[in-house]
Amino acid sequence: MSRTRWLVRRLAQAAVVALGVVLIVFLLIHLVPGDPARAVLGIAASPEAIAKLHREWGLDDSLPRQLLLYLGRLGGGDLGDSLLYGQPVTQVIRERIGPTAWLMGLATVMSVIIAVPLGVVAAIRRDKIADHLARIVPMIGFAMPPAWVGIMLILVFSLGLEWFPVGGYGEGLLGHARSMFLPSLTAALIMAPILVRSIRASMIDALDSDYVDTARSKGISEGRVLVRHALRNALTSSVTVVGLNVGILLGTTVVIERVFATPGIGSLLVDGALSRDFPVVQGVTLLLALAVILVYLLTDLALLLLDPRIAAQ
Amino acid sequence: MVVGACTESGSSGPSAPAGSPTRGGVATVLIHEPTAQDLNKLTTFVQGTFWVTAQIFDTLTFIDQEGQTIPLIAESWSVSSDNLTWTFVIRNGVVFSDGSTLDADDVVFSIEDSMRPENPIGILLSAVESVQATDPQTVEIRLAYPYPALPEALSGVNFAIIPENWGGVEEAAFYENPIGSGPFMVDPEGQWLKGTAIDLIRNPNYWLEGRPYLNGVAFKTVTEQQRILQLRGGQADLIFGPDVTQSALDLQTTPGFNVVDVPTYRTMFIGLGQGFEPFTDVHVRRALAHAVDREALRAALFDFPIISGSYIPTELSVHDPDAGLPFDLAQARSELEQSAYEDGFDVSLLIDAGSQQENTLAQVLQQQFAEIGVTVKIEQVDLGARIEALVNGEFEMIAQDINQVTADPAEMTAWAIDPSFGAFFFTGYEDPALADLARRAARASDPTERQALYSQVQQAAAEAAYIIVPYNLPDIWSSTDRLRGVVLGLGDTIDLSGAFFSE
């Protein structure tokens, strides 16, 4: 299969998945009991005020008609207007995407920084204490609920040492970096263990391979053999794991953002669901689904570029 | 009640703070409910928004911490001898945040606007026949029948004063950039994430000389855990909560913080749906009411709730402390034996999944009702779903607290009885005689007669037991030692006009 055909096929699959997500989310959020008008106006809202909002928001239409109208707008790239914020969903998402982007980016970098040395040490010290420690200790972070890990980090680094803010997003570049450090670390501690194991396994394969023996026989220093030959090849297979991790992290952000009161996409999704802001929930879920699809697609593309054998297959 | 240094008692309008106030600083207030999704003070009935709109708009009257109705925008008021004409004198020198003068025409417009059906508590003004300005400082309100609690009712934020004709713009546009006479206004350069956060800045034209002291207030909605952590971490100055849990006691004993539990007009209701067959029998309902051990409930909730068996909040003068069926297991069993359900039955209790207090309440009730053979299945749903179930009457048993925003007992009576409003707390129960008695109580001008009638209403509602009231809920607020001069009033009000940061 040519690369172009492969890409077209993957994009078609992605479109089908995205459409499925849109339909499922639309039906689910509309079937859950709860009225967005009452969420805005409160328990004592008068029937007249509720009816007025229903009219304004088009909630008087039948569900199939609402779905058709939504799909029609979606076709034109319009995610609709938020019921609560009174602004286009795209704008609401744009205002909230910064913290989530910080979280995703910083967490991914942190997970690599944590996992690479541990994976390499585990591979070099195979079946020794260092290997066991490098594999078992990070699993503690993986096994703990993200909310608990986050709270522990806050208690130690925010309230105890006062190094980082308890929550929020901060102001300015430095403020954002400081505010997003602990949420990102929480996410990285969840992502790192899988990556450590992947790098370890790949490194062991690489270190046992003929090309590493050849490199050593040429008299190349052990450090250079490890980094330039073994690690470089080992990381290629770990790219998939990083990609998968990012996919998992997109789901975990919802929890982490709640714990740290981060005003990001995850918090937006939870607030939208609780107040039945249908367009926001649909828009954010679609965005997250597309992001996961895109990450997996980019992962495949990266592998394609890094490993010519995949293209040959 | 535990009163920390962050609160002051009000006596005549916003009170003077202790110590010497200093100007400056922005107070960060973290709350639990969505805030400022919509600043339309008329249609909104969300506590998280009330706290914001109450900073922007002023009302004619104000309820102080002793439950007294005191002047705010109205300097004084009087009623005619036939109790049908109220005259309100408007305070001189009050201006809106845009500098324009607040006069009688603005008051007339605001009250007439408040009578629109979109006002959730507009029912309180159903006696009003006409409103007119007799001079720039005087407003006359004529009634179709006596309504002695009018000044109390006008303390509600839904009846706040706004400029005539919304200052010449459309209603929707007005509330995007509202103009009021309160101590703060929306910061045009600040953050307003609807439902999540809003920045207010000092109103430079505030009518009370020298106030407010703060440069601004930032309201944010965050989870309880984050509220406590941010307060401890110095990122917040005042938070709603903690909930009535160990966390409140822990924070109370931590140096540098004040935890205050403020009495409110908030009643916790257990509604018994008439669509559920066993509850159509008064003996079954009374059996459950007798099985509730309020002291045990209070102890389980760290002694924070205020025990009450009446739907009328304990802080209102007409509250009858004798209303409510007493805890008596023998009587409960006897009542059940008189029904077709002497061997008990299974029932579901709907509560809010996010409320620790309701969770504890439900678990204790589960144990207490088990004593008479009634098995309670606790169903936790999110707030939106619970409210839908309540207003549609789709429940067997439901727990829901209601907060009234005025000091008029007719407001809670509307929830607990009025067939055209709360409809017997949406239980499907019907009792025209009780509804009529409640109407008579609301219209009684003689205080003694009014008290007697309201007592009858409370006792009749308790005897019918379509609702069971276990307690009234105080609001818990926590602050840092630095923030002073905050007035936490009855009716869930926060007056920040006198708040300041100490050195």
- Return the number of other C-beta atoms located less than 10 Å from residue A159's C-beta: 13
| Per-residue model confidence (pLDDT) at position B316 | 93
The model's pTM: 0.83
Instruction: Tally the C-alpha atoms within 13 A of residue B304's C-alpha that lie toward its C-beta.
Output: 28
Does residue B87 carry a pLDDT above 50?
yes
- Disruptive mutation site among A149, A166, A171 for chain B (greatest number of B CBs within 10 Å): A166
Interval B359-382: pLDDT, tens: 999 999 999 999 999 999 999 988
Q: Looking up tokens 């036939």, which residue turns up?
A: B82
Residues counted in chain A:
313
Cα–Cα distance list, A219 to A120, A230, B197, B472 (Å): 21, 15, 63, 82
> Is the Cα torsion angle A102, A104, A108, A113 positive or negative in sign?
positive
Higher pLDDT, B306 or A7: B306
- Return the number of other C-beta atoms located less than 10 Å from residue A247's C-beta: 16
Q: Which residues contact A232 (CB under 8 A, 6 or more apart)?
A: none
- Give the distance from residue A184's alpha carbon to the nearest chain B alpha carbon, in angstroms: 17
A165: helix, coil or strand?
coil
Strands B197-202 and B184-186: antiparallel
Q: Which residues pair with B128 in a beta bridge?
A: B143
| Per-residue model confidence (pLDDT) at position B421 | 87
Does residue B434 carry a pLDDT above 60?
yes
Does residue B464 carry a pLDDT above 90?
yes
Interval A229-282: pLDDT, tens: 788 777 777 777 887 777 788 878 889 999 998 989 998 998 888 878 888 988
Interval A12-47: pLDDT, tens: 888 888 888 888 888 888 887 778 887 777 777 778
Query: B387–A38: do the CB atoms touch at under 8 Å?
Result: yes
| Per-residue model confidence (pLDDT) at position B351 | 95
B286: helix, coil or strand?
helix
Does residue A311 carry a pLDDT above 90?
no
Cα–Cα distance list, A100 to A158, A239, A269, B226, B488 (Å): 20, 21, 12, 18, 36
Instruction: Tally the C-alpha atoms within 13 A of residue A155's C-alpha that lie toward its C-beta.
Output: 7
Closest residue of B to A170, CA-based?
A: B235
Does residue A3 carry a pLDDT above 90?
no
Segment B413-435 mean pLDDT: 93
Alpha carbon of residue B315 to chain centroid: 12
B230 touching A (Cβ < 8 Å): yes
Q: Rounded distance, CA A44 to CA B207, Å?
A: 32
- Confidence band of A174 (pLDDT split at 50, 70, 90): very high
B375: helix, coil or strand?
strand
Does residue B4 carry a pLDDT above 80?
no
Residue B242: is the preceding peptide bond cis (ω within 30°)? yes
Minimal CA–CA distance to A101: which of A277, A266, A248?
A266
B170 touching A (Cβ < 8 Å): no
| Per-residue model confidence (pLDDT) at position A308 | 66
Cα–Cα distance list, B116 to A55, B110, B143, B160, B359 (Å): 18, 10, 16, 14, 37
Cα–Cα distance list, B306 to B198, B264, B487 (Å): 33, 10, 21
Is residue B271 within 8 Å of residue B397, measured between CB atoms?
Answer: yes
Instruction: Tally the C-alpha atoms within 13 A of residue A309's C-alpha that lie toward its C-beta.
Output: 3
Minimal CA–CA distance to B412: which of B467, B363, B370, B484?
B467
Does residue B189 carry a pLDDT above 90?
yes
- In this structure, what token pair is assigned to residue B428? 């499907």
Strands B216-221 and B467-468: unpaired
DSSP 8-state class, residue A307:
-
- In this structure, what token pair is assigned to residue B199? 């920045």
- Disruptive mutation site among A29, A31, A40 for chain B (greatest number of B CBs within 10 Å): A40
Is residue A21 within 8 Å of residue A13, measured between CB atoms?
Answer: no
Highest mean pLDDT among B37-46, B320-329, B386-395 belongs to B320-329
| Per-residue model confidence (pLDDT) at position B134 | 97
Q: Rounded distance, CA A70 to CA A76, Å?
A: 10
| B34: chain A residues, CB-CB within 8 Å | 39, 84, 271, 275
Exposed e or buried b for every residue in A101-137, given b needs 16+ CB within 10 A? ebbbebbbebbbebbbebbbbbbbeeeeeebeebbee
A88 touching B (Cβ < 8 Å): no
Segment B426-446 mean pLDDT: 95
A50 touching B (Cβ < 8 Å): no
How many contacts, defined by CB atoms under 8 Å, are there between A and B? 123
Interface of B with A in 12-41 (CB under 8 A): 34, 37-38
Q: Rounded distance, CA B230 to CA B27, Å?
A: 13
Interval A102-143: pLDDT, tens: 999 999 999 999 998 998 888 888 888 888 888 888 788 778
Report the residue from A32, A43, A166 with minimal CB separation from B385.
Answer: A32
> Is the Cα torsion angle A267, A270, A274, A277 positive or negative in sign?
positive
Terminal CA-CA length for chain B: 27
Q: Rounded distance, CA A221 to CA A248, Å?
A: 38
Query: Mean pLDDT across chain B, nearest whole number?
Result: 91
- Give the distance from residue A81's alpha carbon to the nearest chain B alpha carbon, in angstroms: 13
- In this structure, what token pair is assigned to residue A246? 């990012």
Q: Rounded distance, CA B434 to CA B23, Å?
A: 53
| Per-residue model confidence (pLDDT) at position B11 | 33
| A39: chain B residues, CB-CB within 8 Å | 34, 37, 384
Work out the angle at residue B182's Cα, subtended by the Cα atoms of residues A168 and B147, and round it to the nearest 5 degrees. Answer: 120
Segment B460-465 mean pLDDT: 97
Q: Rounded distance, CA A91 to CA B194, Å?
A: 13
Report the residue from B45, B193, B389 with minimal CB separation from A41.
Answer: B45
Q: Which residues contact B332 (CB under 8 A, 6 or more apart)?
A: B286, B287, B288, B289, B290, B291, B371, B372
Residues counted in chain B:
503
Is residue B13 within 8 Å of residue B208, measured between CB atoms?
Answer: yes
| Per-residue model confidence (pLDDT) at position B489 | 80
Alpha carbon of residue B357 to chain centroid: 17
Does residue A2 carry a pLDDT above 90?
no
Segment B243-259 mean pLDDT: 83
Q: Rounded distance, CA A28 to CA A285, Å?
A: 12
Helix axes B409-416, B432-443, angle to 10 degrees: 170
Using a CB cutoff of 8 Å and minimum separation of 24, what contacts does B131-135 make? B131/B107, B132/B108, B133/B103, B133/B104, B133/B105, B133/B107, B133/B108, B134/B87, B134/B104, B135/B104
B420 touching A (Cβ < 8 Å): no
Query: A42–B121: do the CB atoms touch at under 8 Å?
Result: no
Q: Rounded distance, CA B263 to CA B32, Å?
A: 18
Instruction: Tell me the ipTM for this assembly.
Output: 0.76
| Per-residue model confidence (pLDDT) at position B8 | 39
| B37: chain A residues, CB-CB within 8 Å | 39-40, 84-85, 275
Query: B384–A38: do the CB atoms touch at under 8 Å?
Result: yes
Q: What is the per-residue DSSP string for B157-217?
A: GGG-B--GGGGGS-HHHHHHS---SSSEEE-TTS-EETBTEEEEEE-TT-SSTT---SSEE
Query: Mean pLDDT across chain A, nearest whole number?
Result: 85
Does residue B2 carry a pLDDT above 60?
no
B160 touching A (Cβ < 8 Å): no
Q: Rounded distance, CA B128 to CA B141, Å?
A: 7
Alpha carbon of residue A292 to chain centroid: 7
| A44: chain B residues, CB-CB within 8 Å | 45, 120-121
| Per-residue model confidence (pLDDT) at position B3 | 28
- Confidence band of B5 (pLDDT split at 50, 70, 90): very low
Q: Rounded distance, CA B466 to CA B270, Å?
A: 9
Strands B216-221 and B138-143: unpaired
State phi, psi for B192 to the nearest 5 degrees.
-135, 90
Ramachandran quadrant class, B483 (left: phi over 0; alpha: psi -120 to 50; beta: rest)? beta
Is residue B325 within 8 Å of residue B462, measured between CB atoms?
Answer: yes
